[in-house]
Structure 1
């Protein structure tokens, strides 16, 4: 299944789900991950391996971390080749002063927004969907 590419359909179909956990970003040296870690995302960079994981897990492993955030999953199955979907959403969140760190998975996009701003971000996403549903 390749996912939706049409921006208008993606925005009309936009719905979001908030994860229960509080997440953080951390980094560990290149190489195998410490035993027992199960990060939501890993990204290998020249300086080390970036992890997105629940704060409780980071603290249990003694990892320095930053950016306490909430994960919002966009439940529409978006194509990795969709043009403008995340840009549109990020622009709307930026207009409200909400930073966002998006991560695209094979089926869905995930937005990491600052802890305490998740309700506002969800409201903006609902507003975007409503605007495009009324145009259909």
Structure 2
């Protein structure tokens, strides 16, 4: 992963995104059961409070063990560039490139990096699309 000052320039973020595929399989889960949420939180990659309940991104083993539906296995692709929180265009470029290849994606932005979650069966194709996008941004 890259470190240093966050990058704000759109072209530099795209060229430097260096997508990395996570070998873990992830599931987007939700519950309005506070006890179940409390058990799930320590395993969660991230948690988001929504009006309908807690949304969690859980690894497969935890999601299964806690009884969540395993409906859509997802692969996380981390964009290794340290994108600035006020940078414009990286997630739009990634989502647009993936959409152009008919690959669904859920973008999650964190402090240092952005993460694209794609259906696991399309992860290889998604990596190809993102590597080409980064190469095009570098030229």
Report the TM-score when normalising by structure 2: 0.89
Count of matched residue positions in the alignment of Structure 1 and Structure 2: 134
Partner residue in 1 for 2:104: 99
Runs (5+) with no aligned partner, structure 2: none
Higher strand share: 1
Q: CA deviation at 1:30?
A: 5.9
1:5-20 alignment, distance < 5 Å: 5-20=8-23
The separation in 1 between residues aligned to 2:29 and 2:70, in whole angstroms, is: 4
Partner residue in 2 for 1:23: 26
The separation in 1 between residues aligned to 2:93 and 2:33, in whole angstroms, is: 34
Higher helix share: 2
C-alpha change, 1:123 and 1:28, in structure 2 (3 Å) is same
**Runs of 4+ in structure 1 displaced over 3 angstroms?**
none
Runs (5+) with no aligned partner, structure 1: none
State the secondary structure of the residue aligned to 1:113.
strand
Partner residue in 1 for 2:76: 71
8 Å Cα contact 1:26/1:66 also seen in 2: no
Partner residue in 1 for 2:117: 112
Report the TM-score when normalising by structure 1: 0.91
